[in-house]
């Protein structure tokens, strides 16, 4: 069974990260195996693989982004970094905890956007193959509901449409 390209990229990126302290998207693209490069993976899929592996982008000079492993706040404290914010509470708010929650929400928003883009691609593919995306969306909505609910609604619609002369 063939793996989805995104899964292959994630696996290859994961192997590339072992023993590294930082990496750029260019290095990731160059380091992918030939068969994956031939499939022309998007920068988005490479970024998604890096973020999924727990790495985060840091802007550097010249507009370049370098990906580094996300640091655990406990490790930073042990290393003596972040000592000014250690245990810092401002007006009843634990700064480190708040920052971590915000960063987690940002990562999830990034993932949500990626999933939304993937769904959009599925509908574009369906349309290119001659399917009606609107009908597909309606079917998805129906499948979320209980069978009895949409059968009852369909029966009522049929009665009303017959009354209006819209059905034979």
Phi, psi dihedrals of residue 67, rounded to the nearest 5°:
-95, 135
pLDDT digits (tens, 9 = 90+) for 110-165: 999 999 999 999 999 999 999 999 999 999 998 999 989 888 988 999 999 999 99
Task: Give the pLDDT score at 99.
Answer: 83
Q: For the domain 1-70, what is the CATH code?
A: 1.10.10
User: 59: closest CA among 13, 24, 96?
Assistant: 24
Q: Which residues, in sequence order, are bridge partners of residue 59? A: 65
Domain boundaries, the chain: 1-70, 73-131, 132-168
Distance CA 62, CA 38 (A): 29
Task: Give the pLDDT score at 139.
Answer: 92
Does residue 59 or residue 83 have the better pLDDT? 59
Distance CA 57, CA 96 (A): 19
Is residue 80 predicted with pLDDT exceeding 60? no
pLDDT digits (tens, 9 = 90+) for 84-106: 445 566 665 677 778 888 888 99
Is residue 81 predicted with pLDDT exceeding 80? no
138-154 burial, b for 16+ CB within 10 Å, e for fewer?
eeeeeeeeeeeeeeeee
Give pTM, 2 decimals: 0.43
Task: Give the pLDDT score at 85.
Answer: 47
């Amino acid at each position: 069974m063939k793996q989805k390209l995104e899964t292959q990229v994630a696996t290859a990126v994961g192997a590339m990260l072992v023993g590294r302290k930082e990496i750029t998207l260019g290095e990731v693209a160059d380091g992918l195996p030939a068969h994956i490069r031939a499939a022309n993976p998007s920068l988005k899929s490479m970024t998604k693989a890096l973020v999924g592996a727990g790495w985060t982008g840091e802007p550097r000079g010249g507009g370049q982004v370098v990906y580094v492993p996300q640091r655990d706040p406990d490790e930073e404290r042990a290393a003596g970094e972040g000592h000014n914010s250690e245990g810092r509470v401002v007006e009843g708010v634990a700064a480190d905890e708040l920052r971590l929650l915000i960063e987690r929400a940002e990562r999830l928003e990034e993932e949500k956007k990626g999933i939304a883009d993937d769904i959009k691609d599925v509908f574009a593919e369906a349309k290119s193959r001659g399917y009606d995306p609107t009908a597909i969306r309606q079917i998805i909505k129906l499948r979320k509901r209980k069978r009895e609910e949409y059968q009852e609604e369909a029966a009522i619609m049929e009665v009303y449409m017959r009354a209006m002369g819209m059905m034979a």
